[in-house]
A and B are shown apart, each in its own frame.
Chain A
Amino acid sequence: MNIVVSIKQIPNLTDELEINAEGTGLDHDALQYVLNEFDEHAIEEAVLAKEATGGTVTVIGVDTTGELDGALHTALAKGADSAVKITGDFPRGTDSHTQAKLIADAIRGMSPDIVLTGVQAADDRDGQIGPMIAAHLGVPYVGVVTGVQVKEGKAVVHKEYAGGVMAEFEVALPMVVGVQAAHQPPRYAPVSKIRQIAKTAKIDEVTGGAGPRAGSTVRRMFKPESAGHAEMWEGSPEEVADKIATLLAEKGLVKRG
């Protein structure tokens, strides 16, 4: 089983996001980049699949930050077997269309049985990478998946709909899966192990050519009209509790003691 995981780094959303002077994008240089949370689940699901059925896991990504090595080393520490980074003139915030094309071109020659990637990323303004890779490779895609089982040229995937309803699909491999959540929480890679691997592991480097573009241009980026809506209650927890209790009493939902 030849498993490939496509990953992508995105701004750390717990940071304060600043918009650039032109007002058309983020001030990327001021941001810390982290691995897309859904891609962490994709890595976990890939390693679980490998542990269940054997095979190899290759992790691949476009290095838009100059710091992709860290994410690749972490994936290796979690159980991936090899790592590939695509380098070239790809700045932070490179659009999904470009990244998907670069990744599809790089993995075509690897003839993967299954490609796993995070179902979405917080910066997918021009769409999610998974379905694009599938379209470039001409293979089927199923996303919002919370469980993958691979056997004999087929994958059984569980796709989530709203309200907790799920659909089970059986898909002839190769395919691309957009992982919503691995069937167990992503494992912790000890920093000790990551540092050991960083000293010895080899990351294959592929030079990427020019990609397509997003096909649309941001003319204005802004923060949503914030707050204002909620009337803020100041004060101690007791005072706030009092206000909530009063509100519930006014609505006739509790008796006011």
Chain B
Amino acid sequence: MAKDILILAEHLNGKLADITFEMVGKAKELAAGFGGKAVAVLLGNGVKSLAESIGADSVLYVDDAALAQFNPEAYGRLLAALIQERNPRVVMIGNTSIGMDLAAGLSVMTDLPLIAYVNGLAADGGTLAATSQIYGGKIQAEALPDGEACIVACLAGAFPADTGKGSAPVEQIASPAPLDDLKVNFVKLIEPEGGDVDITQQPILVSIGRGIGGQENIELAQELADALGCAVSSSRPITDAGWLPKTRQVGKSGLTVTPKVYLAFGISGAPEHLEGMRGAETIVAVNTDSKAPIFDVAHYGATCDMLDLLPALTEKIKG
């Protein structure tokens, strides 16, 4: 099976994550070049129907009560065993909250190289070239594994999801490693506190980042949002500082939003943030640093001071 590509299907709360389809789509394209197959691996409990909705060349699934919820230790054991058993050419794992618990450990356990933060993959004359997005999105590094085989950890949103949807022959396999005596025990899922505005349902978002300067300036953003009849959202540093509730955070560890207009004020555009808002219909970015990565995804940009702009815009909207 040395030509196959193994993809870890990611799911939470009975739903496959987009990253699964994104990786499967890309894997099919690469596998064709290597003369192998894109084989998705799904670990879970009662997940046959989920397995059937993955558009890979084939889907393997392990069904076990111990896998009812993600468990890094269980996943790590099973994947290490599967990799050793099936000897794939490439292992694709999401560079996500789930995948980041697994890929680097597997690299040590299986002695396979790992290339992480991947947002570009190409079969370059039979060799896999993986491009990583590092240093906060400021640098791209294209690398080749030293041997043939490797693990790649792919960033969410790097590849189109459409080609990974569909169906494939599904095969249930026995757990390739024992799942008793786990030291990591899942206790419960904690849903985010409700009661606040749902920023995923807003037509416009006034989104703020570090550039807001201080907590006292949050009200400038709120006044604009009030005038527009929409909500204030933010990048991670703002909710980390406790200036806005966690429910307002856009990005990897926050929410993914797709408003008609996303107004990004003082947000530099770390990859984790871009992940959560690049799907907005129109993005306007205001940041004093003309080189901020946010301008790469924005449709319109300006480098003026947001603290001057916010009140000016509020005035304009109020008329």
Question: Using a CB–CB distance below 8 Å, which chain A residues touch chain B?
Answer: 11, 13, 17, 19, 26, 96-97, 100, 119-120, 122-132, 134-136, 139-144, 156, 158-172, 175, 178, 180-181, 185, 213-238, 240-245, 247-248, 251, 253-255, 257
B97 A162 Cβ-Cβ under 8 A: yes
Q: Is the interface of A mostly helix, strand, loop or mixed?
A: mixed
Contacts of B291 in A (CB 8 A): 226-227
Pick the contact of B108 from A100, A178, A241, A247 — CB < 8 Å? A100
B185 A170 Cβ-Cβ under 8 A: yes
Please name the 5 residue pairs, one residue from A and one from B, whose CB atoms are nearest each other, closest first. Answer: A215-B113, A257-B319, A164-B192, A127-B104, A230-B301
Pick the contact of A165 from B145, B189, B293 — CB < 8 Å? B189
Measured CA separation A128–B72 after assembly (Å): 15
B298 A247 Cβ-Cβ under 8 A: no
B204 A248 Cβ-Cβ under 8 A: yes
A241 B313 Cβ-Cβ under 8 A: yes
A170 B143 Cβ-Cβ under 8 A: no
A141 B12 Cβ-Cβ under 8 A: no
Question: Using a CB–CB distance below 8 Å, which chain B residues touch chain A?
Answer: 12-13, 17, 69-73, 76, 96-98, 100-109, 112-117, 129-130, 132-147, 150, 153, 183-192, 203-204, 228, 240-241, 246-247, 249, 252-256, 260-261, 263, 282-286, 290-291, 293, 295-305, 308-309, 312-313, 315-319
Question: Which single residue of chain B is at the shortest CB-CB distance from A25?
Answer: B141
B282 A126 Cβ-Cβ under 8 A: no
Measured CA separation A216–B305 after assembly (Å): 43
Tally of A-B residue pairs with Cβ under 8 A? 300
| Shortest beta-carbon distance from A21 to chain B in Å | 16
Contacts of A129 in B (CB 8 A): 104
Contacts of A221 in B (CB 8 A): 139-142
| Shortest beta-carbon distance from B158 to chain A in Å | 12
B146 A216 Cβ-Cβ under 8 A: yes
| Shortest beta-carbon distance from A119 to chain B in Å | 7
Contacts of B260 in A (CB 8 A): 251, 253
Measured CA separation A124–B232 after assembly (Å): 32
Measured CA separation A128–B93 after assembly (Å): 14
Q: Known contacts A126-B116, A166-B190; is A251 also within 8 Å of B261 by CB?
A: yes
A216 B115 Cβ-Cβ under 8 A: yes
B253 A230 Cβ-Cβ under 8 A: no
Measured CA separation A250–B313 after assembly (Å): 16
Measured CA separation A160–B12 after assembly (Å): 12
Measured CA separation A36–B249 after assembly (Å): 22
B261 A248 Cβ-Cβ under 8 A: yes
List 29 interface pairs A-B (beta carbons < 8 Å), by A numbering. Answer: A125-B117, A134-B105, A135-B105, A136-B108, A139-B183, A140-B184, A141-B101, A158-B190, A162-B12, A165-B192, A167-B70, A170-B185, A171-B185, A175-B184, A215-B146, A215-B150, A216-B143, A216-B144, A222-B142, A224-B140, A225-B296, A226-B296, A227-B295, A230-B285, A231-B301, A240-B313, A248-B317, A251-B261, A257-B319
Question: Which single residue of chain B is at the shortest CB-CB distance from A160?
Answer: B253
**Central interface residue in A19, A185, A226, A248, by most chain B CB within 10 Å:** A248
Question: Which single residue of chain A is at the shortest CB-CB distance from B187?
Answer: A168
Measured CA separation A250–B315 after assembly (Å): 18
B296 A227 Cβ-Cβ under 8 A: yes
| Shortest beta-carbon distance from B262 to chain A in Å | 12
